[in-house]
Structure 1
Amino acid sequence: MTLSTDRVSRTADGRLILDGVSLAPLPGAMTGLLGPNGSGKSTLLRLLAGVLAPSHGVVTLDGRPLDGLRRRDIARRVAVVEQQADTLVELSVADVVRLGRIPHRRAWHPPTRADEEAVTAALERTGLRDHASQLWSTLSGGERQRVQIARALAQEPRELLLDEPTNHLDIQHQLDLLNLVAELAVTSVVALHDLNLAAMFCDRIVMLQRGRVIAAGTPRQVLTEDRIADVYGVQVAVTEPGEDGRPHIRVLGTPARRR
């Protein structure tokens, strides 16, 4: 069992942001959230993280309502990588990654050997070991995103939520990052804009439009020419998938031609 939502809705300032969304990620798999800006992807991730509460419906972790669990217990299970993170405190890369160990540490106690081993492993896995002593404020946007991934890995989560993690990354680092997430033994839910990255890496895709689930299934089932035209308003050509069952999307132009 893992995180799930059952008919959750979220209203803010009188506006309906999510409308009856049910989501049941496959344990150990990567689920991609797709949809135009304003479709509710980030809000859904915040509901899954327990940062926001649904106006209606319920979010559960292992079948237990999230609002009945302690924040510390949730943080030991669920790690979140936001679109953008910043700090006014001058921290080194290693110190930022150590923040991922806070849910596992006793108050006012120094880091344990297990804490430092988790931090070192996270730095190694994200290729940041040589940057460990570098100040966070001196990093590029892409490097900061990698540090946030390392912090999440140091948390040793079973569920990993990522909101546009490939922003600010060049093509190579986009592929490296999503390869890394795909290889982790975690249940991951990742919001993406790039349809081809979603097709390459996600086991399942949930597509949102105006706060509602338009489609859910494998990349081959969800990423069709007609559906992309309806949701994104662009004309595309979807190449028939090969042996791996993963399609490729080529954007032809806008506006889409309605059939």
Structure 2
Amino acid sequence: MSLEAHGLDWRAGGRLILDQVSLQVPPGELMGLLGPNGSGKSSLLRLFAGLVRPARGEVLLDGAPLARRSRRDVARRIALVEQHATTDTDISVLESVRLGRTPHRSAISGWSVNDQRAVDSALDQVGLADKSARRWHTLSGGERQRVQIARALAQQPSELLLDEPTNHLDIQHQLELLELVRRLPLTCVMAIHDLNLAAMFCDTLAVLDSGRLVAFGAPEEVLTPALIERVYGVRALVSRSTRHRRPHVQYLPLTPSSLDQEPPCEPST
């Protein structure tokens, strides 16, 4: 059953950030979480991770309230990769990924064979096994994101939450990272801004607007010109490739001009 939200309200600074959000994350799929800045995407991820509790409603994990589970138990099941990855400590890639084993170890337990296997597997999955000795401050933005994902994978979660993992990455690294996430045999929820990348890589999409869930479904069902204009305030054309049947969003100018003509459709591929 994986993760479910039932009637979630969340407030911060006296403002209602999430308003009666209910949805079920499809098990084993990559779900994209869309919406403008301030729509509540990061807040919903933190509620799913059990880092904060809702003002109203509840999060369920496998049908049971998340609030009744211990922090250690939740961390063994759910891993969150937050948006800004930084540290003042000059640690190595290996040392950073080893931190992912914390939920599985007690204060007096030694480093086990299972711990090492989990770390080695995580480094292999993100393609950093040969860079485990590198120092954090020598890594590129894309490499730092992969380290963060490796640390999450070392937790051996069944649910992985990612808060805008492609931010500040160039196009190549965005594609590489999303290909990596899509291959993971986990239930994933990913907040993402780019509608075309969301359409390319996500199995389902959930759209938040001013804290409310306004759309949920397959990319071709959700990404319509009417929804894009209503949620983002921009006009767009939505076409579909005959190769992969995924929608492609083409934005139109905001103000009338010589460019404000319906562009010719690109050939389907």
TM-score scaled by structure 2?
A: 0.91
Q: In 2, Cα distance between the equivalents of 1:71 and 1:206? A: 27
- What's the counterpart of residue 53 of structure 1? 53
- Once the two structures are superposed, residues 208-229 of structure 1 have per-residue CA deviations (whole angstroms, 9 ceiling, x without a partner) of 1000011111100100011101
Question: AA paired with 2:161?
Answer: L
Q: In 2, Cα distance between the equivalents of 1:146 and 1:120? A: 14
- What's the counterpart of residue 242 of structure 1? 242
Q: Map of 1:205-220 to 2, 5 A cutoff?
A: 205-220=205-220
Deviation, 1:243, is 5.3
Q: Does 1:39 align with 2:39?
A: yes
Contact 1:220 1:241 in 2 (8 A): no
Contact 1:235 1:252 in 2 (8 A): yes
RMSD (Å), alpha carbons: 1.5
- What's the counterpart of residue 100 of structure 2? 100
Q: In 2, Cα distance between the equivalents of 1:158 and 1:255? A: 46
Q: Does 1:113 align with 2:113?
A: yes
Q: Does 1:6 align with 2:9?
A: no
- What's the counterpart of residue 266 of structure 2? none
Q: In 2, Cα distance between the equivalents of 1:119 and 1:240? A: 40
- What's the counterpart of residue 267 of structure 2? none
- The alpha-carbon distance between structure 1 residues 131 and 92, as it changes in their structure 2 partners (threshold 3 A), is same
* Unpaired runs of at least 5, structure 1: none
Q: In 1, Cα distance between the equivalents of 2:147 and 2:135? A: 11
- Once the two structures are superposed, residues 158-179 of structure 1 have per-residue CA deviations (whole angstroms, 9 ceiling, x without a partner) of 0000000111222222122212
Question: AA paired with 2:48?
Answer: L
- What's the counterpart of residue 85 of structure 2? 85
Q: Mean alpha-carbon deviation: is it higher for 228-237 or for 15-24?
A: 228-237
Question: AA paired with 1:198?
Answer: A
Deviation, 1:241, is 4.4
Deviation, 1:240, is 2.8
Q: Does 1:163 align with 2:155?
A: no
Q: In 1, Cα distance between the equivalents of 2:151 and 2:170? A: 20
Q: In 2, Cα distance between the equivalents of 1:47 and 1:86? A: 22
Deviation, 1:25, is 0.7
- Once the two structures are superposed, residues 235-255 of structure 1 have per-residue CA deviations (whole angstroms, 9 ceiling, x without a partner) of 211113435331111122226
Q: Mean alpha-carbon deviation: is it higher for 187-196 or for 230-239?
A: 230-239
Q: In 2, Cα distance between the equivalents of 1:255 and 1:138? A: 44
Where 1:237 maps in the other structure, the secondary structure is: strand
* Unpaired runs of at least 5, structure 2: 261-269
Deviation, 1:190, is 0.4
Question: AA paired with 2:64?
Answer: R
- The alpha-carbon distance between structure 1 residues 44 and 232, as it changes in their structure 2 partners (threshold 3 A), is same
Q: Mean alpha-carbon deviation: is it higher for 224-233 or for 135-144?
A: 135-144
Q: In 2, Cα distance between the equivalents of 1:118 and 1:32? A: 27
Q: In 2, Cα distance between the equivalents of 1:120 and 1:89? A: 22
Deviation, 1:64, is 1.1
Identity of aligned residues (%): 56
- Tell me which structure has the larger Cα radius of gyration: 2
- What's the counterpart of residue 254 of structure 2? 254
Contact 1:142 1:167 in 2 (8 A): no
Q: In 1, Cα distance between the equivalents of 2:17 and 2:64? A: 24
- What's the counterpart of residue 145 of structure 1? 145
- What's the counterpart of residue 225 of structure 2? 225
Question: AA paired with 2:44?
Answer: L
Q: Mean alpha-carbon deviation: is it higher for 172-181 or for 214-223?
A: 172-181
